[in-house]
Structure 1
Amino acid sequence: MSDNSVVLRYQDGEYEYPVVESTAGNAGFDISKLLPQTGLVTLDNGFGNTAAYKSAITFVDGDNGILRYRGYPIEQLASDGGFIETAYLLINGELPNADQLAEFNREITQHTLLHEDVKRFFQGFPRDAHPMAMLSSVVGALSTFYPESHNPFDAAQRHLSTVRLLAKLPTIAAYAYKKAMGQPFVYPRNDLSYVENFLRMTFAVPAEDYELNPVVVNALDKLLILHADHEQNCSTSTVRLVGSSHANLFASISAGISALWGPLHGGA
């Protein structure tokens, strides 16, 4: 019997399950053979004591104020870089060098514009439509404009869909706000940063010049870093569950946005 295992005694049998150590947080033990060995399943309402998978992306300890992405403390990421560097880190596992960051920024900048037909979706929504309903609907509809993205096993298309979502979500969110305000949509500009573009698309109006406030730009950039990933929360679980059916990324993220809408999660 291993010193690094958990032993279950049931009826006349004794069953050993290996402990899985963690680099941060709680260790666990692997019960994947429990059913075939014992005929039993576990009951864990709400999955409060269940780890569904191994992950090396995010560690959160809210009680002690700890948040790490890929092992990097949030304080370092927020002080030394911006949201785009953090997004690259979460996707690829390491921070980008200067060339990788420039290429990633170039990719995102190329895809900020929405197809003109997408704008008609917003025209069809009531003025008092909930922004999360608009966001979820339009993100799901993007898959109809990119049918080549429907194969989740195509690595190049997965990457392109990821870039498109990162690039277009600020535009979609800004358009949802403009719809609610009864104001004309503002196109993205390639000479602005990710956050600057979002602020301008959201708050600029044709009647006057819009001046970016660097304090607001910096604050929003830090806010995006802090909210970039929060472990296996409700929306993350939803995206993974829908994605496990081999649905495309747009459909999976649309479902996650709907989960975020709920008052017990984001309450957005």
Structure 2
Amino acid sequence: MTEQKATLTLNEHKAVVLDFNAGTGGPAALDIQPFGVEELFTYDPGFTHTAGCESAITFIDPRNSVLLHRGFPVDQLASQCSFLEVCYILLHGEAPSPAEFATFTDTITRHTMIHQQMSRMLSGFRRDSHPMALMCAVVGALAAFYHDQLDVSNPEHRELAAVRLLSKMPTVAAMCYKYSIEQPAVYPNNSLSYTGNFLHMLFAIPAEKSEVNPVLERAMNRILILHADHGQCPSTTAVRTAGSSGANPFACIAAGLASLWGPLHGGANEACMRMLEEISTVDRIPAFISRAKDRHDSFRLMGFGNSVYHHFDPRAAILRKTCHEVLAELGMEDNLLQVAIELEHIAMTDAYFLENKLYPSADFYTALILKAMGLPPSMFTVISAVGRTIGWIAHWSEMHGQRPQIYRPRQVYTGKARRDYTSQL
């Protein structure tokens, strides 16, 4: 195969030769590093056409709705794996042997406890604080408790940090939730699976016996897997950007949490449920559908369509099946669930939705499942964060294995030209 090159002519006498960087899938990237010699740089708002790194973790094909983790199709992982098995794959690149998985699971399980002072730290926050605000604070504060193992250049330290974050994130998430609803935190139960233990800490009450519903456990397992990683999304880029400075992993994951919180990213599932609350009843749906079709109306249906995939989100089909399994188990007498199911029917049959490829997204079905489980909308993004933590860790670890270059995007300056200052005082 002939090596491809591109030539950029700057003027009649000067040309810059650029190489192509081709990966194992997707379009090739034009290597613009020679621009630096010529004191040039590109302009790409949002970096939507710029590859800022090389990664072997996740591949996304927007045109064909393909999502691969380490080469494995996401639907196969969601139907065959436990969440911890997917975690191992994302971290290490290959599926574990039985012995490797047993060791990995045991290590994660034995790190689920958090320091009691973390619980006392929460008491300084208002009870009505958003759980994501608490998550950002508590996860960032973990660095204060594990400052002895923060040499990011040491692979063993990176491995230990990964274990601590992965094992403690459900505990932190459940603790933040319990604090927000004025219930006592529930200790981890190491006899349960990762997802079973998470559900136990979310819903158990210390004074009562608690059992984990296997249908809900399977649903939570799929939700965590399908949120585990999604390439260079805003939160992963935030983790990589923070990590490129050499910041400790807990600070980097806190940066990812802050980015994920936004309604155009991980907060979309919460925004979807807020939309359903605004619609409130099935008889009001036609009016909101008319508004959604009106280009002059600012209202938009949250949870329909996807900014990444040209056709449909491959995760949505799996979550749709899971959603209906959960609703069959728990029932759907709630008004908002009835509104959601009717919206789903419209999206699958209405010509406007079909022509514009506004299919229900992974965020839509995630919101319905979590609502049916009894969680408030403020917790939806927290659940996504528990799943996405492994993706953040994998990218953070990968970039340090590659000796990262600090992220330093350029800008097109549009301010005042140089001018002299004369005091007016």
Q: TM exceeds 0.5?
A: yes
Contact 2:152–2:248 (Cα < 8 Å) also in 1: yes
Structure 2 spans left out of the alignment, 5+ residues: 268-380, 382-425
1:156-175 residue pairs with structure 2 within 5 A?
156-175=156-175
Q: State the alpha-carbon separation in 1 of the partners of residues 53 and 6 from structure 2.
A: 19
Q: State the alpha-carbon separation in 1 of the partners of residues 230 and 76 from structure 2.
A: 17
Q: Percent identity?
A: 47
Contact 2:16–2:34 (Cα < 8 Å) also in 1: no
Which residue of structure 2 aligns with residue 86 of structure 1? 86
Q: State the alpha-carbon separation in 2 of the partners of residues 3 and 27 from structure 1.
A: 12
Contact 2:136–2:258 (Cα < 8 Å) also in 1: yes
1:228-267 residue pairs with structure 2 within 5 A?
228-267=228-267
In structure 2, relative to structure 1, the CA distance for the partners of 1:231 and 1:213 (3 Å cut) is: same
Query: How far apart are residue 238 of structure 1 and its match?
Result: 0.6
Query: How far apart are residue 236 of structure 1 and its match?
Result: 0.5
Which residue of structure 2 aligns with residue 219 of structure 1? 219
Aligned residues: 266
Q: State the alpha-carbon separation in 1 of the partners of residues 62 and 148 from structure 2.
A: 40
Q: State the alpha-carbon separation in 2 of the partners of residues 22 and 153 from structure 1.
A: 26
2:25 equivalent to 1:13: no
Provide the secondary structure at the position in 2 that maps to 1:148. coil
Contact 2:135–2:257 (Cα < 8 Å) also in 1: yes
Provide the secondary structure at the position in 2 that maps to 1:111. coil
Letter in 1 for 2:121: F
Q: CA deviation digits over 1:130-188, x for unaligned, max 9?
A: 11111111111111111112221121111111101000000000011101111111000
1:187-206 residue pairs with structure 2 within 5 A?
187-206=187-206
Larger Rg: 2
Q: State the alpha-carbon separation in 1 of the partners of residues 121 and 222 from structure 2.
A: 31
1:62-211 residue pairs with structure 2 within 5 A?
62-211=62-211
Query: How far apart are residue 66 of structure 1 and its match?
Result: 1.3
Q: CA deviation digits over 1:197-222, x for unaligned, max 9?
A: 00000100123211211011011101
Structure 1 spans left out of the alignment, 5+ residues: none
In structure 2, relative to structure 1, the CA distance for the partners of 1:29 and 1:156 (3 Å cut) is: same
Provide the secondary structure at the position in 1 that maps to 2:88. helix
Query: How far apart are residue 62 of structure 1 and its match?
Result: 4.5
Provide the secondary structure at the position in 2 that maps to 1:149. coil
Q: State the alpha-carbon separation in 2 of the partners of residues 162 and 62 from structure 1.
A: 30
Q: CA deviation digits over 1:1-31, x for unaligned, max 9?
A: x761111111111221111222221111111
2:42 equivalent to 1:42: yes
Query: How far apart are residue 261 of structure 1 and its match?
Result: 1.0
For the aligned residue pairs, the C-alpha RMSD in angstroms reads: 1.3
Which residue of structure 1 aligns with residue 24 of structure 2? 23
Which residue of structure 1 aligns with residue 411 of structure 2? none
